[in-house]
Chains A and B, each alone.
Chain A
Amino acid sequence: MNNVYYGKLIFELSREGRRGYSLPKNEMSDYKLESLPGTLLRSAAPGLPECDELTVVRHYTNMSNNNFGVDTGFYPLGSCTMKYNPKINEDMASHPSFSGLHPLQSIDTVQGALEVYDRVQESLAELAGMKEFTLNPFAGAHGELTGLMVMRSYHMSRGDVKRTKVIVPDSAHGTNPASAAVCGLDVVVVKSRPDGTVDVDDLRPLLDDTIAGMMMTNPNTLGIFEHSIGEIAKLVHECGGLMYYDGANLNPMLGKVRPGDIGFDIMHINLHKTFSTPHGGGGPGSGPVGVRAGLEQFLPSPHVVRKDIDADSYRYDVEFGNDSLGSISGFLGNFAVMMRAYTYILSLGHENVKMVGPLATLNANYIKESLKDVYELPLEGVCKHEFVFDGLKDKSTGVTTLDVAKRLLDYGFHAPTIYFPLLFHEALMIEPCETESKETLDAFIAVMRKIAQEAKEQPEMVKSAPHHTPVRRLDDTQAALKPIVTYAELSSMVD
């Protein structure tokens, strides 16, 4: 690796006139450019870099080595469930029998793919305790919007047009109020108790016949199980509202607790969290939405159904229901993501899937208990899949959560989520996932303890971390205020 030289920008490696190829003869040289409208013509040649092939290869190969992903190291990013994506998922999703399909092929030629849809719908429904799922939404927030549209369709279908408000806890993920607003619903905030769980006494006076429903995660954003969920669901149902489960924190519940069994009516699942499909920039997302019996007719169209022809044979079809809220995405969502999730479900099987939640919970509690003497633990007790420290226990050194996060990079660990949730000043949110070995957890714990020691002995060194990364501390204020996103902008500033 030579990051020092080839890690420069490709434009900096460019030499005027350098060619790594020879182009075929230009057969358009006689073309009269004047025949094109002036607005379509460039006044100057595009400023493309000019490099030989080997320089290009070394530049991008070195760049790719600067990537940090779950395949290169531990990624304890709280609230994100960055679990390992098993390689067999990719093998199945890229199988030519599936990857070569076109969404406009006739139904008869894609029976196998539709069977996968049907089985994913069925598996998710069983794991979640719901009656029916749609796989169409493209992401978690898209699923939230779809779920709220189901909620609205339900109230509308009964002619109950007054229900325009959705209750959201103050500790919720920002997507909850955002989705409600996009759906045209007003957000009412319910307060948390000091332990971060919903304050039932604050909830009661909010409930009346204008409430469409309530959105919750369980465990909540602080990784705490909402023990009052039974009472909360009862109160919301009594006032005529529906309970919406945000599946962001489903991982610790998987195979142990089903949202449908604890009072939720509508929910979404982030396949890119709980079901090991690629996350964020690693691939398209998927946010299937499930509903309890009595709401399935409102789910979006098209929807895959299995139709029995006679006792021994059946056929898959795609339906557009009369009461459906309509289309929310092109075709049937991201099929390749379903393939990965289905592979994950089958690889684990009926028994092993029940180990996901307990192991994710065990790993989180192991880290928490191993570090709480040097990091401030604001909420004692057993957490679920994640927990929050409020910075270092010893605040006298002036070393902040940001400094700890930066110093972790020097040791080859991705930083946890920082300064979220907002309930604590120095929040450091850790979620290890069930896929990490005890040795990895021990290595992380050792480094976190070492950083706490360094904060005491060499605080300035920690405050100026990272020291060993390709770039040091970036000026995120200037990046937000005056982002430089092209080389032309950068070079004009240097000139």
Chain B
Amino acid sequence: MSKIIEGLYYSESHEYVRVEGEFGYIGITDHAQHELGNVVYVDMPEVDDEVTAGEDFGAVESTKAASDLICPVSGTVVEVNEALEDEPGLINKDAFENWIIKVQLSDKGELDNLMDAAGYKAMIGE
């Protein structure tokens, strides 16, 4: 059974947002890393790039598949998790600890379109 953390926002395409003030930390869920298997590459945007809710901002490649990362919220990238460049497998170790990008949120209202922990849990059927 996958780990789901209370207080985060979840998307249907298995990304999460952890909100801290004006910023959102975006990554993929524990369920997603489990389904993907060993992650071997994370394609990330650059700092200052604009990201848009519903559009892709990168991709995760595992030994099984390559999947687009769909941004759950809009904003400006203020930081990327550079540790993933050398060690993409960190996502498998702890998907919630190892976020992929940190975004300055442009519209906090978009968070209302996302699921809470209970909603996400119901969606993945656990």
Q: Does A45 contact B (CB under 8 A)?
A: no
Flag if A419 contacts B65 (CB, 8 Å): yes
Flag if B40 contacts A481 (CB, 8 Å): yes
> How many Å from the CB of B103 to the closest CB on chain A?
24
* Across-interface contacts of B88 in A (CB, < 8 A): 481
Among the listed A422, A476, A477, A480, which residue makes an inter-chain contact with B65, where contact means beta carbons less than 8 Å apart? Answer: A422
* Across-interface contacts of A419 in B (CB, < 8 A): 64-65
Interface string of A154-194 (1 = CB under 8 A from B): 00000000000000000000000000000000000000000
> How many Å from the CB of A401 to the closest CB on chain B?
10
* Across-interface contacts of A422 in B (CB, < 8 A): 65, 67
Among the listed A425, A477, A481, which residue makes an inter-chain contact with B35, where contact means beta carbons less than 8 Å apart? Answer: A425
Among the listed B35, B41, B63, B89, which residue makes an inter-chain contact with A476, where contact means beta carbons less than 8 Å apart? Answer: B63
* Across-interface contacts of B38 in A (CB, < 8 A): 476-477
Complex Cα distance, B67 from A446, in Å, reads 35
Q: Which of A207-249 contact B (CB under 8 A)?
A: none
**Residue of B at shortest CB range from A418?**
B64
Complex Cα distance, B99 from A181, in Å, reads 28
* Across-interface contacts of B65 in A (CB, < 8 A): 419-420, 422
Complex Cα distance, B67 from A480, in Å, reads 16
Flag if A477 contacts B89 (CB, 8 Å): yes
**Residue of B at shortest CB range from A476?**
B63
Flag if B64 contacts A477 (CB, 8 Å): no
Q: Which of B21-70 contact A (CB under 8 A)?
A: 35, 38, 40-41, 61, 63-65, 67
Q: Which of A442-495 contact B (CB under 8 A)?
A: 476-477, 480-481
* Across-interface contacts of B89 in A (CB, < 8 A): 477, 481
Instruction: Give 6 nearest A-B pairs by CB, closest first.
Output: A480-B40, A477-B38, A476-B63, A419-B64, A481-B40, A477-B63
**A residues apposed to B, CB below 8 Å:** 419-420, 422, 425, 476-477, 480-481
**B residues apposed to A, CB below 8 Å:** 35, 38, 40-41, 61, 63-65, 67, 88-89
19 contacts between A and B (CB under 8 A): A419-B64, A419-B65, A420-B65, A422-B65, A422-B67, A425-B35, A476-B38, A476-B63, A477-B38, A477-B40, A477-B63, A477-B89, A480-B40, A480-B41, A480-B61, A480-B63, A481-B40, A481-B88, A481-B89
